[in-house]
Amino acid sequence: MTALARVTAYRPQQRHLPMLATLALLVGAYAYGASQYTAFGSGQVVFNLFINYSWLLVVAVGMTFVILTGGIDLSVGSVVALSTVLSAELLGEQGWPAAAVVVAVLAVGLLLGTGMGALIHYFEIQPFIATLVGLFFARGLCLTISTEAPSIDDGFFTVIAQTQIPLPGDSHVSISVLIALAVVAVAGYLLHHTRFGRTVYAVGGSEQSAVLMGLKVARTKVSVYALSGFCSALGGLLLVFYKLSGDPLSAIGTELDAIAAVVIGGTILSGGSGYVLGTVLGVLVLGMIQTLIDFDGTLSSWWTKIVIGGLLFAFIVLQRLIARR
């Protein structure tokens, strides 16, 4: 077969279609931006997407695991905010060393996630309700700790926040970007090369079948919420690196952005099908829309929400159509 024939004979697998659509959308949006604004064409615009949204990316990766099992995690925004507030409080008021703060924040996220997972699995409470509890609980905790948004001047945090890693072409990324990409890589490995990951897909495909096949469903279900809690806490830390403050009212509505990114990235809300790479594309699409609207300058930033709404609608319909064939 000639190379050309091979290319023309290529038929994407059906389950890859939503992800390919997202990729096409991303490339299209970028090409449009580059054609309208000269500054848009520089590579730094893309790198800035990663810099600005690395925290959301990490949160969305955790959400991907949850949605793959057919669940949902509404608590992520509150856990992100809690992480920022906890960081500021422990570093400032309590004077903890930076490393201890990082460990403590991650542990809290993991613990909250595990708690919600246990609630969902052992008490058979719908994920929506259990994580709604988490949403209120964590947000309330934020405001109990602090109603202000103190800035952070810890040396370690400042260094991580301000270090720029130079890239060819006069571009740069932040350390947070590397952390986020590492999380993506680990998540991809977990999902596709470990039993845990395959069980995540199995539970999303049919929980009842997974039980009857003798898979470790209980452990897996609790684990995905624990993982999501951990990712939210890590996302919170990345947000601290980005903003250098701990705001109890930050990341409101992040859970919805994360869910939107996962769905636009081609993961099916009912579970069992989707890729972490799709989630990366989903987050980039959200960022790209925001950037385009920023560049335009005349549109209010609420247009971002409108476009996201339209995209979500389009992708959900697309998934329906694919599933029906």
Partner 1 sequence: MTDPRAILEMTGIRKEFPGVVALDGVDFRMFPGEVHALMGENGAGKSTLIKTLTGVHGIDAGTIVLGGEPVAFGEPSQAQHAGVSTVYQEVNLLPNLSVAENIFIGREPRRFGRIDWSAMRRRAEVLLAGLDLHLDVSADLGTQSIAVRQMVAIARALDVSARVLVLDEPTSSLDAGEVERLLKVVRTLRDEGMAVLFVSHFIDQVFAVADRMTVLRNGKLVGEYRIEDITPVDLVTKMIGKELEALEDIEEATHRHSGGEVFLRTEGLSRKGAIAPFSLEIRSGEVVGLAGLLGSGRTELARLLFGADHADGGTLRIDGDPVAMRTPRSGMAHRIAYCSEDRKTEGLVGELTVRENIVLALQAARGWTRPLSRRRQDELAARYIDALDIRPAAPEALVQDLSGGNQQKVLLARWLITEPRLLILDEPTRGIDIGAKTEIQRLVAKLSDDGVAVLFISAELEEVLRLSHRVVVLRDREVVAQKDNESLTPDEIMAVIAEGSGT
- Which DSSP state fits 166? E
Judged by beta carbon, residue 60 or residue 203, the one nearer partner 1 is 203
The reply on whether position 267 binds partner 1 by CB under 8 A is: no
Judged by CB under 8 A, which of 34, 132, 133, 211 binds partner 1?
A: 211
- What gap in Å lies between CA 44 and CA 173, rounded to an integer? 9
The reply on whether position 215 binds partner 1 by CB under 8 A is: yes
3-state SS assignment for residue 325: coil
Judged by CB under 8 A, which of 125, 206, 312, 318 binds partner 1?
A: 206
3-state SS assignment for residue 251: coil
The reply on whether position 216 binds partner 1 by CB under 8 A is: yes
Judged by beta carbon, residue 216 or residue 305, the one nearer partner 1 is 216
Residues 270 to 289 in contact with partner 1, rule: CB under 8 A = 272-273
Residue 25: count of CB within 10 angstroms of its CB:
20
Judged by beta carbon, residue 133 or residue 215, the one nearer partner 1 is 215
Are 73 and 130 within 8 A, CB to CB? no
One symbol per residue from 217 to 256: x for binding partner 1 (CB under 8 A), - otherwise; what is it?
Answer: ----------------------------------------
Among the listed ranges 119-127, 199-207, 277-285, 292-300, the one in contact with partner 1 (CB under 8 A) is 199-207
Residue 307: count of CB within 10 angstroms of its CB:
18
Judged by CB under 8 A, which of 214, 297, 298, 301 binds partner 1?
A: 214
| CA distances (Å), origin 218, targets 61, 67, 148, 232, 312 | 21, 16, 40, 22, 31
Are 128 and 72 within 8 A, CB to CB? yes
Judged by CB under 8 A, which of 186, 212, 317, 321 binds partner 1?
A: 212
Judged by beta carbon, residue 23 or residue 203, the one nearer partner 1 is 203
Length of the chain: 325
Judged by CB under 8 A, which of 202, 251, 276, 292 binds partner 1?
A: 202
Residue 50 CA, chain-centre distance (Å), reads 12
Work out how close the CB of 278 gets to partner 1 at its nearest, in angstroms, rounded to a whole number.
15
Work out how close the CB of 206 gets to partner 1 at its nearest, in angstroms, rounded to a whole number.
6
- What gap in Å lies between CA 158 and CA 17, rounded to an integer? 42
- Which of 286, 220, 256, 244 shows the shortest CA–CA distance to 78? 256
Are 240 and 85 within 8 A, CB to CB? no
Work out how close the CB of 168 gets to partner 1 at its nearest, in angstroms, rounded to a whole number.
33
Q: Bridge-partner residues for 167, per DSSP?
A: 171
Residues 14 to 33 in contact with partner 1, rule: CB under 8 A = 15
Residues that bind partner 1 (CB under 8 A): 15, 192-195, 198-199, 201-202, 204-206, 208-216, 272-273
